[in-house]
Amino acid sequence: MIGSLALVGSGEYLPAMSEFERSLIDDGVKNGKQPVYIQIPTAAGQESEARLKYWQDLGQRAADSIGVKSIFLPIFTRDDANNQEFADQINNAALIYLSGGDPHYLAKTLSNTKLWTAILENWQTGSSLAGCSAGAMVLSSHIPNFRVSKGDATPGLNLIPNIRVIPHFNKFFRWIPESAAKVVMNVPQGGILIGIDELTALVKRSGDDFWKASGLGKVHFLKGVPDQQLLDGQIIKF
């Protein structure tokens, strides 16, 4: 049984998202996994030690608030991502969470490593997998280069190859026309472009054939399916 898959616009480990994170843990437990919350901060690997400590403490508080064990995996380099001891700690965890930061660094660090293989194997056998901000963007086939509009895209992890995610949509793209967002994201023919607001997620639950919006904001469909916005609890199939 493939596990739940969540694309999150922002808000990992924050109180506003705790009920949602609890639900992903529950999904994994229903699939026979242990109530363990794996936190992978790789996308923030180039930030300061103080900032990394902040993310670790925030993640621990989030796990404590929903009453589960947390494991913070210090995966900051490709050597870390190829460390079998780290990869083994993922086994049978109910929730594996890729938190935010730099999606290009995240993709380059995890691609074709023992850790990514372990993540895939556990998701394919029932663990929930969530990506927040950079962690959601990296799951596509390619990650556009925002800073250099004509720069080459970075190959992603290719879990959802035809989907492009714009996180923090209501914050960073509020003043940019949706037509411009489509150009910036360089969505291929047949691809789907999704903008996800902060403190909001789009989730495909284990066993479901549809996606559902969850959270305080909206999920915006900009290309590939009819343009629409979903609010909390609304669903879409594609």
Predicted local confidence at residue 204, as pLDDT = 98
Q: What is the CA radius of gyration of the chain?
A: 16
Q: What is the number of other CB atoms lying within 10 angstroms of the CB of residue 226?
A: 7
Q: Check residue 152 and give its pLDDT.
A: 74
CB-based contacts of 214, cutoff 8 Å, min separation 6: 20, 200, 201, 202, 203, 232, 233
Give the three-state DSSP class for 219: strand
pLDDT at 185: 66
pLDDT at 144: 84
| pLDDT value of position 181 | 62
CA-CA-CA-CA dihedral for 205, 68, 139, 105, to nearest 10: 170
CATH homologous superfamily of 5-236 equals Class I glutamine amidotransferase (GATase) domain (3.40.50.880)
> pLDDT in tens for each of the 238 residues of the chain?
999 999 999 999 999 999 999 999 999 999 999 999 999 999 999 999 999 999 999 999 999 999 999 999 999 999 999 999 999 999 999 999 999 999 999 999 999 999 999 999 999 999 999 999 999 999 999 998 765 555 678 999 999 999 999 999 999 766 565 555 655 566 778 899 999 999 999 999 999 999 999 999 999 999 999 989 999 999 999 9
Strand 93-98 and strand 128-132: pairing?
parallel
Name the amino acid, one letter, at 106.
L
Alpha carbon dihedral 38, 105, 170, 48, in 10-degree steps, equals 80
Domain spans in the chain, listed from the N-terminal domain onward = 5-236
State the pTM of this model: 0.94
